[in-house]
Amino acid sequence: MRSLPITFTSVIGVCAPVFSQPVWQHVKVLITGAVLAPGKRPVTAVLQIMGRSAAADVQTSPRVLNRAVWSPLNASRLRRRLFGAVCIPGGVVLFGLADPIERRRGDPLNATGRYRDPVRSSPAYGVNVSGRRWLAWLVLPPISWAHRVWALPVLTVLCPSARDDAPRGRHHPPLTERAGQMIRLVGRWVPGRAIALVTDSSVAALELRDKVKAWPCARVSTRRRLDAALDAPPPPRQPETNGRPRLTGQRRPTRAAVWADARPSWTTWRVEPWYGAGPREVEGTTDTAVWYHAGKPPGAIRWGVSRDPKQAFAPPAWRSTPLEHTPAQMLPWCVRRWSMAVTCAAARAPLGMETPRQWHDRASARTTPARLSRSALITLTAHLRIEQAATCRRSTAWYRNIRPTFSDAMALVRRDVWEPRHVAMSQQEADMIQLPRELFERFMDAVCYAASMDKVELRGCPETID
């Protein structure tokens, strides 16, 4: 490939100071090939689409992941600075915390365990899978041209299972402890900015609230179960009373009881956007309570429950650590949690998060964060191209695409990289252009081998097809 677009090189070039100059040349090849390659994206497919399958130094590219000296943490810090400058120049920085499961099988793999798969599970049926658990820190900025919020991964940390830590004699920190470490780290990356964090139920615990309490600029909002137990504040302690002071007061009604009760005064709130469906008016009520668990210090939270007047969705309950938060602030933040699930799904299908088969510990810890961060780089590149009057929404006679998706953004970046002005030999604009034969062969490989399978069953005998 003769050259790369300026927008693409400016986005990926933010991480160039992390690598040495020789390693950076191979990193550019890996990033560009991972964006252009269809289907699964191991290192061999990346080198094939870049025309380097017969290069003499072909073994150097995998060494970027398992041997080269570079810090993924410094790369995450530089990406966060880029996201803040492009998407959130001022105001409150909204982050999301998710724990995606990378489905992997095999004895030689490290840091694996058995986890509940939230994608395949349902309220009535749970599915457990074998794989690795990651803790991903994502920034949730509104994307104007997509008309919704997209989740851009900033920092991804591997969370080994207790089954993997026990034989190695290592302390197994829970997710809340790792989340607290990430909060302190990102808090140092955004000094002087208020931080709002929305989480899943897996890390929504009292331990995380205690860690956030130490940071006055951070606040947490999350969904809550309808049958969760909340208490009233403890009554004033009377003089000359024996025993330890009470930590909580009387038990408050559950959120399910509040939702079913017609006596509370319901207030109408306008939430925009509502899970990608535009603005919606919902009814709800809110109050403060004490959240307490045996052996843990109690904490005051603001809770709320909402309902749809048209009864189109189930009643969600939510909570927030700052008591001064209003439902107009908390509800839109909790709704943005859905964008984290969309990003994790995009990392599996269009970006092939679960396709590599690295056995080296360092390569395993670097590959998945790199694939998740690639979705953010593609989004930012498409954002810069659309600001230059480019379009990425594709509609057909049988499918009206109203809002651009991540696949549209990825197609825009691919088209920009394959643009004739970057790869063609013709110097003038015409209906017919001249392409190098080597580039034409790469086009043919990309088209003919786009739909490939890992295994095929032939008369009951599995046969691997490379």
Do 222 and 299 sit in the same domain of this protein? yes
Cα–Cα distances (Å) from 114 to 103, 130, 131, 372, 431, in that order, read: 10, 5, 7, 22, 56
Query: Is 403 found in the same domain as 368?
Result: yes
> b/e string for 317-337 if b means 16 or more Cβ within 10 A?
bbbbbbeebebebbbbbbbbb
In a domain, 275, yes or no: yes
| Residue 329 is assigned to a structural domain of this protein | yes
Give CA–CA dist 161/68, Å, rounded. Answer: 26
* 380 and 432 inside one domain: yes
Q: Round to whole Å and give the CA distance between 359 and 364.
A: 7
| Three-state secondary-structure class, residue 361 | helix
The number of CA neighbours under 13 Å toward the Cβ of 117 is 14
Compute how many other C-beta atoms are within 10 angstroms of the C-beta atom of residue 165: 16
CA distance 345 to 349: 6
pLDDT at site 17: 92
What pLDDT shows up at residue 19?
93
Q: Are residues 98 and 11 in the same domain?
A: no
Instruction: Identify whether 22 is part of a domain.
Output: yes
Residues 309 and 369 in one domain: no
Same domain, residue pair 48 and 195? no
Establish if 352 belongs to a structural domain. Answer: no
Taking 3-state DSSP, the helix, strand and coil percentages for the chain, each rounded to the nearest 5, stand at 35, 20, 45
**Is the domain of 50 the same as that of 103?**
no
139 in any annotated domain:
yes
Tell whether 13 is covered by a domain.
yes
Which run of H or E residues covers position 300? strand 299-307
One domain for residues 254 and 132: yes
For residue 156, being part of any structural domain is answered with yes
Domain end (from 347, 370, 401): 347
| Residue 24 counted as domain residue | yes
221 and 277: one domain? yes
Assess whether 159 and 204 both reside in one domain: yes
CATH code for position 169: 3.90.350
DSSP string, 307-353: E-TT--S---EEEES-TT--HHHHHHHHHTHHHHHHHHHHHHTTS-T
- Which is nearest to 14 in space by CA: 390, 376, 368, 385? 376
Residues 46, 109 within the same domain: no
3-state secondary structure of 4: coil
pTM of the predicted model as reported, rounded to 2 decimal places: 0.81
Per the structure, how many domains does the chain have?
2
347, 370, 386: which is the final residue of a domain? Answer: 347
Tokens of 97: 């915390």
Give me the residues of the chain with pLDDT under 70, please: 1-2, 106-108, 204-207, 210-211, 213-218, 262-264, 276-277, 315, 356-357, 420-431, 449-466
- 56 shares its domain with 94: no
Final residue of a structural domain among 347, 368, 398: 347
Specify the 3-state DSSP secondary structure of 149. strand
Residue 36 identity? L
Domain extent for 109: 72-235+246-347
